[in-house]
Chain A
């Protein structure tokens, strides 16, 4: 990606916005943008499966949760620095996802979607009974773990910067896949899998690679996020609601586009944040969030990006 590409400047602008709280040392803004960064990571990586490959992964949260568990275990039991633990978690989950993917990606449509929920539930059940990871009560991080990063206050800033970097990588990964030969293969699978296979696309391998790839960065994010949270428990780590919310973000922004996935995630986070803390709307924030989803499905089936593309077709060349 060269500076001549508009996406390069878009990426620079997004990262610049996310670095704003570092300059102003505004903790409130940092916390808001941190959650937005997590959502962007989840949505843009999920986009590799749903938007590019056409496979709906309802259990995408399993990558995030597993990454969190591996990362926190490496920090607490093996004394790994958090950045190394998160990297190992990402690679580990990518490898596990490849194995799962080769198994379940022979299923299509609703059967695949159900299998992904099954995987999330099975991993949840396994972790809930896995002694070294604290079983059902989970892993708790001692305050000592933050000391190498200068105590909890500084550690949270470090984690934030790392998460912004992972978000930048996620956006770049989405762009790189979309503009690559591999991405073309995924689009072919999305449009007509049988035809893609006939035309020479190694569909099982492509799908498994996309599934595995879509798990790496959410796992890194999971490790960083739960390090920040200080505790990880199975029900929090494998929360299917967040999995579904990631799909909503994707639909809101526009699946199949990198900018759309990021925009949807960002707006969704901000929207929920305002509703939750608003004295007027907090009591019925879930109703409003549901209504937003309905409006999106009914009036903007292509999401915000679909609407923008329709309104200004030239944007297709600028916003990937």
Chain B
């Protein structure tokens, strides 16, 4: 290495170090602009889910701005989004949210994706009295810490499988239920609540076991379910394990009448399992087929069409959650007639509205302030129509596109 090269490297290092100390971002806080700040997981493990949410934010912003902005108190506010990559890790979340508030002058905040990152970001939003609409953060604990400015769009994790069990109850009130779930934070939180709910509605839990998320052979687990004479299987975790479990249940000819798994059957890829996918159900925050009649914002079809046109893909529930977060904030600002955070928070507390995403209302008591109270999971089911597998919404009945197909085969 020449002397010149060495100087270049040393100079670059020194400059970067110094620049880091004095760096300050540009801020967009012009009059009649409302800035909403958030972090998204552009890189890292949460990338796929976070991007859907991000696309939802962007579509909402584009549509609102094209329609003239958010109208409040006789003014029209154009929406500006300020965001950074959190790398799917919590380390910099507080740094980035502080920056969004202090340097980018964010008036409101959206949450990062995932409950852990959101709880970390909430320490900052609460400090500055900034409203944070959360999406992709369903862990109940996040909303039980004394927050005043946090509002959840998702149905809480504790209610993920309750809809599926309610649907099952209509066709088999005394079902013998097997609970098999991935050994990870999300699935465990869901399973803990489902366990209690099964018993509270008079069903019997005959099998209850966690499996490693990397499991590829579910044979022993399925044999135990068969021995326990289970009628229904609920649980799962994420795509890979859920899809494998569904396929192997079919291969083993397990005598199950009902299956509801987290995440995997909600993916369009699940249809590639063919016969193994038939009549398998999944809880989902939202489905494009849902037929909710909105009081505010677009209907599900209009949203779905706009999303497909903008991104060329089917909207996931993450995308719908992102768009709906913007919509609910817009609704509260318009109702409040101001962007003053306390007045907007007061309107959010009173929110009771039907959107394309379903019903939205928040708990307002201090022990769980901001926890979602109005939204229900939809239950989707892969039903066979001729040679095609079609994903239908079967629950709740208000948004259903087809009746529940029962039993499984």
Q: Which of A111-160 contact B (CB under 8 A)?
A: 128-129, 135-138, 140-144, 151-153, 156
Whether a CB of chain A sits under 8 angstroms from the CB of B166 is: no
Query: 1/0 per residue B130-163: CB within 8 Å of A?
Result: 0000000001011011110000000000000000
A143 partner, pick from B5, B25, B146, beta carbons under 8 A: B146
Whether a CB of chain B sits under 8 angstroms from the CB of A167 is: no
Q: Which of A134-193 contact B (CB under 8 A)?
A: 135-138, 140-144, 151-153, 156
- How far is A245 from B16 in the complex, measured between Cα atoms in Å? 18
- How far is A271 from B1 in the complex, measured between Cα atoms in Å? 23
Q: Knowing A136-B183, A267-B16, say if A35 contacts B92 (CB, 8 Å).
A: yes
Is A231 a contact of B20 with CB atoms below 8 Å? no
**How far, in Å, is B80 (CB) from chain A's closest CB?**
14
- How far is A70 from B91 in the complex, measured between Cα atoms in Å? 19
Query: 1/0 per residue A294-320: CB within 8 Å of B?
Result: 010001100010010001000000000
Whether a CB of chain A sits under 8 angstroms from the CB of B84 is: yes
Is B91 a contact of A242 with CB atoms below 8 Å? yes
B9 partner, pick from A229, A233, A271, A300, beta carbons under 8 A: A300
Whether a CB of chain B sits under 8 angstroms from the CB of A283 is: yes
Report, as a range, how many residues of chain A touch the other chain.
Answer: 35 or more
Determine the residue in chain A with the shortest Cβ distance to B118: A231
Query: 1/0 per residue A271-289: CB within 8 Å of B?
Result: 1011011000011011000
Whether a CB of chain A sits under 8 angstroms from the CB of B120 is: yes
Q: Knowing A274-B23, A277-B96, A285-B85, say if A35 contacts B145 (CB, 8 Å).
A: no
- How far is A139 from B367 in the complex, measured between Cα atoms in Å? 17
Is B146 a contact of A136 with CB atoms below 8 Å? no
**How far, in Å, is B127 (CB) from chain A's closest CB?**
5
Chain B neighbourhood of A138, CB < 8 A: 116, 185
Q: Which of A245-298 contact B (CB under 8 A)?
A: 266-267, 269-271, 273-274, 276-277, 282-283, 285-286, 295
Is A271 a contact of B20 with CB atoms below 8 Å? yes
Whether a CB of chain A sits under 8 angstroms from the CB of B63 is: no
**How far, in Å, is B83 (CB) from chain A's closest CB?**
10
Query: 1/0 per residue B5-29: CB within 8 Å of A?
Result: 1100110010011011101110000
- How far is A271 from B19 in the complex, measured between Cα atoms in Å? 9
B189 partner, pick from A35, A137, A270, A295, beta carbons under 8 A: A137
Determine the residue in chain B with the shortest Cβ distance to A264: B13
Is B91 a contact of A137 with CB atoms below 8 Å? no
Chain A neighbourhood of B144, CB < 8 A: 140, 142
Whether a CB of chain A sits under 8 angstroms from the CB of B43 is: yes
Whether a CB of chain B sits under 8 angstroms from the CB of A202 is: no
Q: Which stretch (B97-105, B226-234, B244-252, B376-384) binds chain A?
A: B97-105
Q: Which of A190-242 contact B (CB under 8 A)?
A: 228-231, 233-236, 239, 241-242
Is B188 a contact of A137 with CB atoms below 8 Å? yes
Report, as a range, how many residues of chain B touch the other chain.
Answer: 35 or more
Is B184 a contact of A136 with CB atoms below 8 Å? yes
Is A266 a contact of B17 with CB atoms below 8 Å? yes
Determine the residue in chain B with the shortest Cβ distance to A135: B188
Whether a CB of chain B sits under 8 angstroms from the CB of A3 is: no
Whether a CB of chain A sits under 8 angstroms from the CB of B89 is: yes
Q: Knowing A270-B16, A271-B20, say if A143 contacts B147 (CB, 8 Å).
A: yes
Is A273 a contact of B95 with CB atoms below 8 Å? yes
Is B127 a contact of A156 with CB atoms below 8 Å? yes
B141 partner, pick from A128, A137, A236, A269, beta carbons under 8 A: A137
Is A276 a contact of B119 with CB atoms below 8 Å? no
Determine the residue in chain A with the shortest Cβ distance to B13: A267
Q: Which of B105-132 contact A (CB under 8 A)?
A: 115-116, 119-120, 122-123, 126-127
Chain A neighbourhood of B98, CB < 8 A: 27-28, 31
**How far, in Å, is B195 (CB) from chain A's closest CB?**
14
Q: Which residues of B contact A (CB under 8 A)?
A: 1, 5-6, 9-10, 13, 16-17, 19-21, 23-25, 42-43, 84-85, 87, 89-96, 98-99, 102-103, 115-116, 119-120, 122-123, 126-127, 139, 141-142, 144-147, 183-185, 188-189
Nearest first, the 6 closest Cβ-Cβ pairs linking A and B are A270-B20, A143-B146, A31-B95, A231-B119, A136-B185, A230-B123
Identify 5 residue pairs between A and B in the complex whose beta-carbon atoms are under 8 Å apart, listed by A's number.
A137-B189, A140-B142, A152-B123, A231-B142, A304-B13
Further pairs besides A142-B146, A276-B87, A282-B42: 18, Cβ < 8 Å: A27-B98, A28-B99, A28-B103, A128-B183, A135-B188, A136-B183, A137-B139, A138-B116, A142-B145, A229-B93, A234-B185, A270-B16, A271-B16, A276-B92, A277-B96, A282-B85, A283-B42, A299-B1
